[in-house]
Structure 1
Amino acid sequence: MAVRDALLALLAAGPGYGFQLHGDLAERTGGRRDVNVGQSYATLERLGKQGLVESAGATDDGLPLYRATKAGTAATSAWFAGTDASGSDAWDETVDRVLVAASLPSVEVGPVVAAERLRWQERAVEASARAVVDGEHDPAAGASVRLAALAAAAEAARAHAALAWLDEVAAITGRHDLAFAPRMERPRRGRRPSARPAEPESLAAESGEAQASAEA
C-alpha cells in the first residue's frame, strides 16, 4: 500500500520534508491514514533506498527536502493507473488512490475514478457469477459449497458498495474542486539547520525531533 504509494505520490507532485509529508498524508486521505510519524519516516527511508526518492536540498531553515526520482514518478503513475501493492486490500487501495488523486492539483481525478469503476464492475460480475455457479440456489449443494457461495456473495456486495462510493465521488468532484497545494508550514520545533542536506538514510534524526514536536 497505500502509505508507501501515497507518500510517493505526494513527492511526485513536488518536494516536501518529512513532518510536512506526514501531516499532508493524513489530510489528503481524510484522516484515514493518520499513521504513526515514525512509520512515515521509515517509509521515506525505504523509498530512498529503493531509488524512488532523493534529496531535493533543504528548506530556508534547514529542514531536508525530498522529491521523487524518475523511477518514483513512474511508480506513482502506475499506482494511479490501478497497480495495487502486493498483498494489499483492493478496497483500501481504491479509497487511498481516489482520495489522494482528488486532493492533488497535478492529477486529474476523473480518469482515476473511471478506471476504478471498471475494475470494481469486473469484480462484481465475477463474484456474482461464482455465487450462483458454486451452488447458492442448488438444493443438493453441501455446506462447503454454500459457504463458498456466501463468500462470493460478500465479495459481490463489497464490489457494489465500492461502485456506489465511486458514484458519490464522481458527483462530489463534479461539483467541488477538492485539490489543494502542499502546505509547507514548519512544525513548532524542527531539525536544526545543517550545512549539508540530509539524504533519505538520515531521516532518523529528523524523525525523532518531529516526534518530539508532535508530542509537545
Structure 2
Amino acid sequence: MSIRAGILLVLCEADAYGLQIHGELEERTDRQGRINVGQIYSTLDRLSTAGLVQASGSTDDGLPLYGITPEGRSAAAEWLADTDVDSASSWSDLTFKVQLATSLGADPEALVDGYRRAWRRALDGASADPSPAGLARRRLADAALGWLSDLQALPGGLDGLRRPLRNERPRRGRRPAPTPE
C-alpha cells in the first residue's frame, strides 16, 4: 500500500487539504483509522519538495489546499500501471489500488485488466509447484481473480463505483469565539 501514490491519485481528482485527503483514503479503501493523519502531512511535505504537489490556495476557512503538478500526475499514472503481484504485499496492494482507482477518475478497466493478466501468470507459474507455498500462491491468485470478476459483475460495473470527492468539513477542535458582553 502506497500512501504517497494514494495522495497523488486523490489530488488527480481535485485540489484538497490534508485532513480531506486522509478521509478520502480511509473511506475509499475501507481502512478506517489505520492511516495516521501526521503521515499524510509529512508525505505532502515530501511530495511538495519533490515537485509532485504544490500549494494551490486555501479553503474558505483557511485550510491550505494542495494541487498536483504534471510530474505528480505522471507519477500517479506510473503507479497505476504497475500491476506486479510478486511481493508479499500483493493482496493488500491490489485491494488498495483497485478500490482507490475505481472510486476516483482513474481508468479502472485498464487497471483491472492488468491485474487480471498478472494474477493469471502467477496462477500458471504456481500450478507446477506442489509445495505448500505453491498451493498458497494458487489460492491467493484464485481469490484475486475471483474478487476482480466480482467487482466487474457489480451493477454498473467498475464505472458504477466512481464517486466525487467529499467537500464537507469535519468538526474541528476549535473553541467557540467568546461572545461580546
The TM-score with structure 1 as length reference comes to 0.72
Unaligned stretches of 5+ residues in structure 1: 137-148, 192-216
Q: Does 1:6 align with 2:9?
A: no
How many residues were matched structurally?
Answer: 171
Look up the match of 2:177. Answer: none
4+ aligned runs moved over 6 Å, structure 1: none
Asked which structure has the greater CA Rg, the reply is: 1
Q: Aligned AA for 1:37?
A: V
Unaligned stretches of 5+ residues in structure 2: 175-181
Look up the match of 2:74. Answer: 74
Contact 1:80–1:97 (CA under 8 A) maintained in structure 2: yes
Change (3 A) 1:73 1:83: farther
Contact 1:3–1:33 (CA under 8 A) maintained in structure 2: no
Percent identical pairs in the alignment equals 42
Structure of greater relative contact order (alpha carbons < 8 Å, 6+ residues apart): 1
Q: Does 1:150 align with 2:132?
A: yes
Structure 1 residues 47-196: aligned runs within 5 Å: 47-82=47-82, 89-104=89-104, 106-129=105-128, 131=129, 136=130, 149-172=131-154, 173-174=156-157, 177-189=160-172
Q: 1:83-131: per-residue Cα shift (whole Å, max 9, x none)?
A: 56xx772221111111011111x223122111111111111111222x1
Report the secondary structure of 2:56's partner residue: strand
Look up the match of 2:37. Answer: 37
Q: Distance in 2 between matches of 1:152 and 1:42?
A: 39
Q: CA deviation at 1:74?
A: 0.4
Change (3 A) 1:73 1:159: same
Report the secondary structure of 1:177's partner residue: helix
Change (3 A) 1:79 1:88: farther
